[in-house]
Structure 1
């Protein structure tokens, strides 16, 4: 049986707290978040509301849906496959976060992909649009197959929009994933504001390569 560590639990709690501190959460504070623990298991928030998250509100769930540590509320059981689909499709993924962040959820409700025109996205390797997965009931085969297809068809995306629902983001660890959620929400808000000035403009050619080279110089 996979048992989560204290550090894994604390990393997830810190990531969720960072989302609230950044002001990117919905009024209800709805979200679910997970981190990979070992092979074939994840540490998952146990309810649909994560405000005031504590270690007791986390459960270990295997990728087949078996709860091996803690408990899950019924509403959370519906979204287990949403997370496991990403982990299976992207083996390098270490954390997955789903939110109803207001501005990016506007794109999801419109079933409109979020363009990559905000420089902060490049810092996370997000060089593609954030694609839309057509609506389907949570946890249904249609929903999970749609997520898998979007991730497969867009190898340079680290997030998908769930049509008429919200955002699903994924990265190497919980802190990076939370920061990505913030950047995506900022991008969605900026896209909407840019319409007042005639609309956002695409990056010039080779923007990603130039940004990556700049980051490499800074790290070197």
Structure 2
């Protein structure tokens, strides 16, 4: 065992990230979101069904098969385990998953439209391609989980997906990194919507990703 939820580094990282999401202004009116962090090959720490004013000791430990091993989840949150678990099963490098109803990103999800990669922060924080849309299914259902799995197979380098008529999921090596990408995606969605009022957004020129990576390498 890694320890009780309150003593795991992941629980503290999750609580810190939850507070940062609100501070960054990327949350919906309801404040709904869920955050998880991998503990080992089969277990992950997960928020209990809310993240507002979350404390580390409130973070639960769950098994990928859906069992709650430590702590408690709200009954409506047990169906979320499968949505996070499929990402961990498909992506061995992923250490954290965040799901929100961030308003601008969710607008693209509701429209069932992929979010293009047209802002430099998306390039810098790991999403150098459009954010694809996962076909709709009831939250946490087999249909939804299979659809997420299919997108992850079809798009092996995407670090985020839009859940049709639902919201956004991002993933990264740790909660802070996943949150950084979430901020970039939400800002990009806001900019994409705003740009339509002045003629529409424009794609990057050829070679933009390589140029950004070279610039980042020089400054590291």
TM-score, normalized by length of structure 1?
0.96
In structure 1, what is the Cα distance between the partners aligned to 2:181 and 2:110?
A: 20
Aligned twin of 1:194:
195
Kindly indicate whether the alpha-carbon contact (under 8 Å) linking 2:79 and 2:139 is maintained by their aligned counterparts in 1: yes
Equivalent residue pairs, number: 218
CA contact (8 A) 2:104 2:186 kept: yes
Q: Distance in 2 between matches of 1:111 and 1:57?
A: 34
Conserved 8 A contact 2:131-2:160: yes
1:67-216 aligned within 5 A: 67-216=68-217
Task: Give 1:209 shift.
Answer: 1.0
RMSD: 1.1
Residues 14 and 56 in structure 2, CA contact (< 8 A), matched pair in contact too: no
User: Quick check: 1:2–1:41 contact (8 Å CA) kept in 2?
Assistant: no
Displacement of 1:156 after TM fit?
Answer: 2.2
Residue 27 of structure 1 aligns with which residue? 29
Q: Is the 8 A contact 2:109 2:167 kept in 1?
A: yes
> Aligned match of 1:42 in 41, 44, 52?
44
What's the TM-score once normalised by structure 2's chain length? Answer: 0.96
Deviating more after overlay: 3-12 vs 178-187: 3-12
CA deviation profile, 1:25-50 (whole Å, cap 9, x unmatched):
00111000000012211000011x31
* Cα drift, residue 2 of structure 1: 4.4
Greater mean deviation of Cα atoms: 109-118 or 145-154: 145-154
Deviations 1:155-202 (A, max 9, x none): 221100000000000001000111111111000000000001211101
Any gaps of 5 or more consecutive residues in structure 2? Answer: none
